[in-house]
Amino acid sequence: MGRVSHALEYRCIGCMDATVTREFDVSHLSRTCPVCGEFERFVNTVVVERFDALAADPPAHLHWDQLDRTRKFLIAERVSRKDHSIEDFETMGPDDEDERGADASTGAEA
């Protein structure tokens, strides 16, 4: 966990309304949300901003609309906080799954 000289904000991913401020830099923390009352992840706002940017203009190769929310946040976290680029991620769309299924049924390797 990295210590920083300024406070960072973390947002509840359950309700997206509550925020907390901490003087350490991590991808997320877990706590009970004072707004929704759930024990949720509070995600670093850098990750939330990347998540929102990807949702606004998703790369076609990710099939963003087919990913669950957890996977979307994982991609946003890796791109915003790690040494990953968006091209490092691949997901399979319905057409890709159909092809893989056909390959598996014929014994061909994907």
Mind listing the pLDDT tens digit for each residue in 23-68? 999 989 999 999 999 999 999 999 999 999 999 999 888 888 999 9
Contact 79, 64 (CB under 8 A): no
Query: How many angstroms separate the Cα of 75 from the Cα of each of 20, 62, 71, 83, 86?
Result: 22, 10, 6, 12, 8
Helices 69-81 and 45-56, interaxial angle, to 10°? 110
* Domain extent for 48: 2-92
100 in a domain, yes or no? no
Domain tally, the chain: 1
The answer to pTM > 0.75 is: no
In a domain, 42, yes or no: yes
Q: In this predicted model, what pLDDT tens digit does every residue of 65-85 receive, in sequence order?
A: 999 998 899 889 988 887 777
Count CB atoms within 10 A of the CB of residue 99: 14
